[in-house]
Chains A and B, each alone.
Chain A
Amino acid sequence: MEITLTLNGNKITASVAPDTVLLDFLREHGCASVKCGCETSGCGLCTVFLDDKPVLSCSVPVVRADGHKVTTLEGLQEEAAEFIGFIADQGAEQCGFCNPGFVMNTIALLRENPDPTDDEIRAYLAGNLCRCSGYEGQTRGIRAYLNAKKEGRL
């Protein structure tokens, strides 16, 4: 099947098998930030934006993205750079495997709710699993970023 989608601002036309999932398609197209961490749609590692909404790319047949806009972390470097340092400062990046999914979903959270409480951060990021840090580091990092922004230090 032939599909056309906009990936990180670039229009791509490709021929795909009907049951190709978006995750595999994206990796084949050079988006190494998108990773498969589970087989149960439960870890959040493969988070990408489909028309600006965060979704699990492991669960979307790529044919469903035909005609739509897909954004991965490769296309959001600038927006991510703003706060990723704060997460690293807390040592919360650890092994790094879950980070792209966390960063993508954090961007989605901050676009939707620019001033979340800690409970709102936890609730929004509940679908991103991390086996290293226990989540406290990420929450502290995001809180530090938000505080810095409020205090005009950015």
Chain B
Amino acid sequence: MLTFNRYLRATSLEEAYTEAQKKSSVVLGGGMWLRLGKRRIGTAIDLSDLGLCGVEETEDSYRIGAYTTLRDLECHAALNTQYSGVLRESLRAIVGVQFRNLATVGGSVFGRFGFSDVVTVLLALDASVELYKAGVVSLERFCTMGRVNDILTHVIIPKRSLSVSYHAQRNSATDFPVLNVCAARNGEQVTVCVGARPARAVAYRYTLDGTAGKAERIANEIASRAVFDSNTRATARYRRHLCCVLVRRALDDILEKEEA
């Protein structure tokens, strides 16, 4: 249940940052998961008035405002054209349109939720996060950091010519993924990200050439290197098996797309 004593519609990032330093304060994203917790919040800080909605295309990147909704990202033509529709593919199974019209990119990324579909994809696309005080930090590093008392203002995806493929396994449509995998190939270098382990997504880097059986070998190696755990959705053993299958499918997809 969502409970807070005070609501602050911040008029500046500095005001939001100062308020966010208090232990009882929380910066609101979409607020979708916040309401599932039991935490009693002192001040809920809303950044709605700070112009953080929308995707700005620059010469070398896409700069996504933290309050851009997942639905906006799913429907963004240029982003989906650039990355073979992988954002649309990864977002379309998240609950429903009404949910995705509220859930924000910033909320999803700042939370670094293990079950996140979007974090796995952004990690594979080599995205960075822009924090109000700390500046630009790679998403990979951000995913290893502990509690962050900063304000995430943007997510930046560099423009690159990538072949990308996303695969997820769900026990039922619109549920959290049991495991998700996103692979992105730039030349012969491939980044494979594995999320919903159920812990946070992690990235692995390999060389992927056209050698027969290479995709299979990479898939086996990632499945043995990655750490999996059990929860109500699946056992660690099942996740390890899925990892091998989904990584191989993602790499095969990329090779097939490139051949075509």
Rounded to whole Å, the gap between the CB of A3 and the closest CB of chain B is 10
Rounded to whole Å, the gap between the CB of B27 and the closest CB of chain A is 13
* Contact residues in B for A108 (Cβ distance below 8 Å): 97
Provide the A49-78 mask, 1 if CB < 8 A to any CB of B, else 0: 010011110111101100000000000000
Most chain A CB neighbours (cut-off 10 Å) among B5, B32, B102: B102
* Contact residues in A for B6 (Cβ distance below 8 Å): 18
Rounded to whole Å, the gap between the CB of A84 and the closest CB of chain B is 19
- A132–B89 Cα gap in the complex (Å)? 29
Rounded to whole Å, the gap between the CB of A113 and the closest CB of chain B is 11
Would you call B174 an interface residue if the criterion is a C-beta within 8 Å of the partner chain's C-beta atoms?
yes
Say yes or no: A61 contacts B96, CB within 8 Å: no
User: Chain B: interface residue count, which band?
Assistant: 20 to 34
* Contact residues in B for A15 (Cβ distance below 8 Å): none
Say yes or no: A18 contacts B7, CB within 8 Å: yes
Most chain B CB neighbours (cut-off 10 Å) among A47, A60, A61, A125: A61
Say yes or no: A123 contacts B98, CB within 8 Å: no
- CB-CB under 8 A for A41 and B101, given A61-B7, A126-B174, A127-B174: no
* Contact residues in A for B28 (Cβ distance below 8 Å): 61
Rounded to whole Å, the gap between the CB of B196 and the closest CB of chain A is 17
Most chain B CB neighbours (cut-off 10 Å) among A1, A39, A60, A64: A64
Rounded to whole Å, the gap between the CB of A143 and the closest CB of chain B is 19
Would you call A141 an interface residue if the criterion is a C-beta within 8 Å of the partner chain's C-beta atoms?
no
- Nearest-neighbor residue (CB-CB) of A60 within chain B: B102
- Nearest-neighbor residue (CB-CB) of B4 within chain A: A19
Cβ 8 A contact of A127, one of B2, B46, B97: B97
Say yes or no: A41 contacts B99, CB within 8 Å: yes
- Nearest-neighbor residue (CB-CB) of B9 within chain A: A63
Say yes or no: A18 contacts B173, CB within 8 Å: no
Cβ 8 A contact of B48, one of A39, A56, A58, A64: A64
- Chain A residues with a Cβ closer than 8 Å to the other chain, count: 29
- CB-CB under 8 A for A123 and B92, given A40-B36, A56-B99: yes
In chain A, residues 117-136, which have Cβ atoms closer than 8 Å to a Cβ of chain B? 123-128
Say yes or no: A19 contacts B97, CB within 8 Å: no
Would you call A144 an interface residue if the criterion is a C-beta within 8 Å of the partner chain's C-beta atoms?
no
- CB-CB under 8 A for A19 and B2, given A61-B7, A61-B44, A126-B174: yes
Chain A: interface secondary structure?
A: mixed
* Contact residues in B for A128 (Cβ distance below 8 Å): 96
- A46–B21 Cα gap in the complex (Å)? 34
- CB-CB under 8 A for A54 and B7, given A42-B95, A126-B174: no
Cβ 8 A contact of B101, one of A40, A42, A55: A55
* Contact residues in B for A44 (Cβ distance below 8 Å): 96, 98
- A44–B7 Cα gap in the complex (Å)? 26
- CB-CB under 8 A for A59 and B48, given A54-B97, A127-B174: no
Would you call B30 an interface residue if the criterion is a C-beta within 8 Å of the partner chain's C-beta atoms?
yes
In chain B, residues 1-30, which have Cβ atoms closer than 8 Å to a Cβ of chain A? 1-7, 9, 28, 30
Supply 8 A–B pairs (Cβ within 8 Å), ascending by A: A44-B98, A50-B101, A54-B98, A60-B102, A63-B7, A63-B9, A108-B97, A126-B173
Report B's interface with A, CB cutoff 8 A.
Answer: 1-7, 9, 28, 30-32, 35-36, 44, 46, 48, 71, 92-93, 95-99, 101-102, 173-174
Sorted nearest first, the 4 A-B pairs with minimum C-beta distance are: A127-B96, A18-B7, A54-B98, A19-B4
